[in-house]
Structure 1
């Protein structure tokens, strides 16, 4: 695949001084996705397609995770590869991120509309963790996130958001590059297990990328 990004998040905000874009083509389980990455405009880490999004997309397809007809919400969707892929597999997808990221995210959703149209058009909505979750329902089938665990100050806000979004039976899949400088391990070993049952389902030693499955503790 071309256009893959493997650089770690900078410690700060990862802002780009100039605005430019490129379009990359990703072939996932027979689906060709064209994703434009817009760098600049204060998009920061929402701009690139991170390797974790590709890993989790491939995992969902290879492990035959049932997506057709499922109500799916993606947190921190960024450029939208993961959520768009889930929608192409038949899920009813809501892609969320901070307001600044929504215009290029919406453009990528529109650019990947199947020839016959979406069975269920994806929605793109703003969601700031710890603030906006009451505006969302609590009956999702699947919650997805790829490389969204990198700012320790947001960990409690994310947990608060996840507790609201999930019901008994909701499955969550998260994929992260395990960066020590961002305390990614702490989130999965301390924060998430406090409220959720957590299972490491895939480990890529070479790229230091983990995929976790979690369900709400009842």
Structure 2
């Protein structure tokens, strides 16, 4: 009689069958390694991409830590580059000015402002702070390189609607790029802006208009105007990117703190 299937006995077929299964498993593992190489960064919580940007004669080194923990904060978006170009082209006098960037993400806008001489504070939710610190180190080795008046930016956590009271409203300029897209965040963002942007301070926000995006229009056209004079400073039709200047309504026209041109059509 033939031995029952799977029986392991002296000289029987069980050991030979088990050896064959091991060989098949090894071949299968080789095939999986070919498709999914054992790169430790592949299964990490985030993986870095390092990029260089040349903006208005300055070179910025930016690490993007892509991963589920950072989400949109892990990338450089076109609205951020547009705001950097605007700052460089307008030739605003940022020397010694106190600047805060909201939702900084990679920090490229605030880092660029620091290269223009501003004293910058980069803010975002806690998960984004390691990326911000890394990019500050990349662009300000040793803290304050020669020729940069503002020095290395500071990095602090600021969750809209929760942490703004930890920041005295003493900033000359508040910056934000592509932070107006989630309607759930509009109310806390508005509260944060109202706390931080007080006379004679101002704000510059860049936003990308996405197809069917009524929320962005509501934020700039309805939610901000009761508290700020909203001025459309630039529109990029190809990228659907707009840059707005915000001035507090109470006493907002007095005590101009920034020299430079903000020209553009009125937004209110």
- TM-score scaled by length of structure 2: 0.72
> Would you say the 8 A contact 1:87–1:122 is kept in 2?
yes
- For the pair shown, the structure with the greater C-alpha radius of gyration is 2
1:23-172 maps to which residues of 2 (within 5 A)? Answer: 23-113=50-140, 115-116=145-146, 119=149, 120-172=151-203
1:128–1:168: structure 2 CA closer, same or farther, 3 Å change rule?
Answer: same
In 2, the alpha carbon distance for the partners of 1:116 and 1:202 equals 33
Displacement, 1:182? Answer: 6.5
Structure with the bigger RCO (C-alpha within 8 Å, sep 6+) is 1
Which runs of no fewer than 5 residues in structure 2 stay unpaired? 1-42, 251-268
Instruction: Name the one with the larger strand percent.
Output: 1
Q: Runs of at least 4 residues of structure 1 off by over 6 A?
A: none
How many angstroms apart in 2 are the aligned matches of 1:63 and 1:91?
Answer: 15
* Bigger Cα displacement from structure 2, 95-104 vs 185-194: 185-194
The reply to whether residue 215 of structure 1 matches residue 215 of structure 2 is no
Contact 1:93 1:122 in 2 (8 A): yes
CA–CA distance in 2 between the matches of 1:94 and 1:86? 10
Contact (CA 8 Å) 1:72, 1:91: kept in 2 or not? Answer: yes
TM-score normalized with structure 1 length: 0.89
SS in 1 for 2:82: helix
Q: CA RMSD in A?
A: 1.7
* 3-state DSSP of counterpart to 1:183: helix
Q: Which runs of 5+ in 1 are unaligned?
A: 1-15
Instruction: Kindly indicate whether the alpha-carbon contact (under 8 Å) linking 1:37 and 1:48 is maintained by their aligned counterparts in 2.
Output: yes
